[in-house]
Amino acid sequence: MACGKLVNIHAHLHTTQDVSATVRQWTADGVVKTCVLAEPSFWMPPNSTYMGNADVLKWRREFPDAIVGMGAVELGQNMGCPDDIRRLKDEGFEGLKFDMPSHPYDHDRYFPLYAAAEELHMPILFHTGYVARLEVSDRRCHPSSDYMRPFRLDRIARAFPNLPLIGAHLGLPHGHEALALLSLPNVYYDISGGGGQKPHLSKLKKALAPFPGADWDNPQENLALEQFKKLVFGTDNPPVSVWYPASEEILNYLHIPGETRELFYWKTAAAIFGWTGL
């Protein structure tokens, strides 16, 4: 299913997956770069099948043109440090994935990590909004979705204006917070989540649609016409064959024009990472 040019800013690989076949399918689908997110210990085997830094790095080295490594940094009790970020950069990771903090994202304890990421030009993708249940880790780590609300990125974005911040899942159920933060020049959001299924698409439509009676082709009334210039394509766990049609449904519903669709599908992501010549 060729979809035109795509950059997938939010994808995962699993230890149970045929990675070579998956990468071949990405290429067939028109994906020129896929940001593969490593996961912290909360999500790693035996708790689940998500890959951590070592496995993501292995496959990034196997497919350097296709895979962009997003390294995980521990934000829990065994918190990482700036040297961990420097090591990830030296190993070949281009960005970072932050998830499952023991304190709110905007707590002072994490600011040295953000300073290192800004210095090293490593964009950070944050999980934002509700977090899926994982009983074995929930009992041990006591995660809080409140620590990962979209507005937790506000203070970070202002303190580190040269650090691109990408929030995941439009921060649902707090989409209004995520959309408000798009006014900050270094904040972006993906709309992945919910397996790309109808309930998630319905939530996105509700969050993004204009008021009743609005002119859907007037950017002063249909704010999504401008908001999609700061939103980026991502799939999370499902394949592109699920999320490209789902994205098209959303874009068509909101009357998003062709030039803005190009921004959503690949141009904005390329600008975040400073890629030229895609």
pLDDT in tens, 83-112: 999 999 999 999 999 999 999 999 999 999
Residue whose C-alpha is closest to residue 242's, from 188, 191, 278: 191
210, pLDDT greater than 80: yes
pLDDT tens readout for residues 211-231: 999 999 999 999 999 999 999
pLDDT at residue number 41 = 85
Residue 40 tokens, joined: 């912290």
Q: Can you tell me the distance from the alpha carbon of 88 to that of 83, in angstroms, rounded to the nearest whole number?
A: 9
Residue 139 has pLDDT above 60, yes or no: no
How confident is the model over 139-144, as a mean pLDDT? 64
Domains and CATH numbers, the chain: 6-273 (3.20.20.140)
- The per-residue pLDDT for range 142-195, each reduced to its tens digit, is 668 899 999 999 999 999 999 999 999 999 999 999 999 999 999 999 999 999
Least confident of 133-137, 250-254, 256-260: 133-137
- C-alpha to C-alpha distances, 133 to 17, 102, 150, nearest whole angstrom: 22, 16, 19
* CA neighbor of 52 nearest in space, from 97, 117, 90: 97
Task: Count CB atoms within 10 A of the CB of residue 192.
Answer: 26
